[in-house]
C-alpha cells in the first residue's frame, strides 16, 4: 500500500514539474542576448614589463672616435663614380660636409656628362653618425640614377659605411652594389683640401727720388 502511494506521488510531482518548464525553444543552450557585451578598450602599451621595441633614436651628435680621421673627412669635397669614371669626358661631383652644432651633415651629387650617359646621376644625403680610424658611418641614403638599369633612382639606405685605407684620400661606400642591376658602383668621397689663402704681399715704401 505504501509503495503504491509513493509511486502515485512521484508521478504527480513529475507532472507538475513538467507543467512548470518553459516551452521548447530551437536555440541551445539559450536564445542570444538582446545586446552584445560591451568591448573594453585595450590597455596602454606604456609601462609594460616587456615593452614594444622603440624606434631607433635620431642622430643628434656625431661620435668622434678619431680626431685625425675627422680632420681628414672634413676636407672631403669631391665625389667620383666608378661606373663612369673611366669614360672620356667624365667629371667628378661635389660634396659638402658641414657641422650643425655637434652633428656633421653630408650632402652631394655627381651628374654624369660622359657621352651616352647624360641624365644619369648619383647623390648622397645623410648625417654622419660616427667617425673612427679608416671608417666614416653615415645614416642616410645614396641614390643612383642609371637609365639603362631602371627609369627611377635605385637607393641604398640606412647605416652606410665609407672605408679608407692607409694614406688614401678616398672613402669608398662599402654598400655600393646597385640594387637594380647588382653592379658595383664604386661611389667615392674624395678629400680635396682648399688652397690656403695667400696673405697680401707687404708693400715696401719706395725711396724718394733725389731731385737733381
Record the cell numbers describing residue 116, joined without a space: 651616352
User: What are residue 68's phi and psi, to 5 degrees?
Assistant: -65, -45
Neighbours of 1 (CB within 10 A): 5
- C-alpha span between 178 and 108 (Å, rounded): 18
- CB neighbour list of residue 75: distance below 8 Å, 6 or more residues apart: 191, 192, 193, 194
- CB neighbour list of residue 134: distance below 8 Å, 6 or more residues apart: 69, 163, 164, 165
- C-alpha span between 203 and 39 (Å, rounded): 90
Percent of the chain that is helix, strand, coil (3-state, to 5): 10, 35, 55
Omega before 29 cis (within 30°)?
A: yes
- C-alpha span between 66 and 74 (Å, rounded): 12
27-58 tens-digit pLDDT: 566 777 777 777 666 666 666 666 666 666 68
Domain residue spans in the chain? Answer: 66-191
124 touches 142 (CB < 8 A): yes
3-state DSSP assignment of residue 201: coil
Range scoring the smallest mean pLDDT among 58-67, 155-164, 198-207: 198-207
55-73 tens-digit pLDDT: 666 889 999 999 999 999 9
- Residue 21: the pLDDT is 54
Handedness of CA 61, 64, 69, 70 (dihedral sign): positive
Range scoring the smallest mean pLDDT among 98-102, 114-118, 139-143, 178-182: 114-118
H or E element that contains 67:
helix 67-73
- Which range in 5-9, 200-204, 207-211 is most confidently predicted, on average pLDDT? 207-211
Neighbours of 78 (CB within 10 A): 18
3-state DSSP assignment of residue 6: helix
Amino acid at each position: 500500500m505504501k509503495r503504491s502511494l509513493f509511486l502515485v506521488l512521484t508521478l504527480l510531482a513529475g507532472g507538475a514539474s513538467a507543467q512548470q518548464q518553459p516551452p521548447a525553444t530551437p536555440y541551445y543552450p539559450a536564445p542570444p542576448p538582446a545586446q552584445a557585451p560591451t568591448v573594453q578598450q585595450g590597455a596602454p602599451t606604456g609601462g609594460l614589463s616587456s615593452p614594444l621595441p622603440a624606434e631607433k633614436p635620431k642622430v643628434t651628435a656625431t661620435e668622434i672616435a678619431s680626431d685625425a680621421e675627422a680632420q681628414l673627412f672634413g676636407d672631403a669635397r669631391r665625389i667620383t663614380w666608378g661606373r663612369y669614371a673611366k669614360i672620356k669626358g667624365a667629371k667628378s661631383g661635389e660634396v659638402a660636409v658641414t657641422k650643425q652644432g655637434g652633428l656633421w651633415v653630408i650632402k652631394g651629387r655627381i651628374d654624369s656628362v660622359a657621352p651616352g650617359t647624360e641624365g644619369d646621376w648619383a647623390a648622397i644625403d645623410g648625417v654622419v653618425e660616427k667617425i673612427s680610424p679608416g671608417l666614416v658611418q653615415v645614416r642616410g641614403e645614396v641614390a643612383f640614377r642609371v637609365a639603362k638599369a631602371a627609369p627611377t633612382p635605385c637607393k641604398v639606405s640606412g647605416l652606410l659605411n665609407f672605408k679608407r685605407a692607409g694614406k688614401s684620400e678616398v672613402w669608398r661606400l662599402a654598400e655600393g652594389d646597385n640594387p637594380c642591376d647588382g653592379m658595383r658602383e664604386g661611389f667615392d668621397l674624395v678629400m680635396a683640401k682648399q688652397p690656403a689663402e695667400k696673405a697680401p704681399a707687404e708693400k715696401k715704401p719706395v725711396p724718394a727720388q733725389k731731385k737733381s
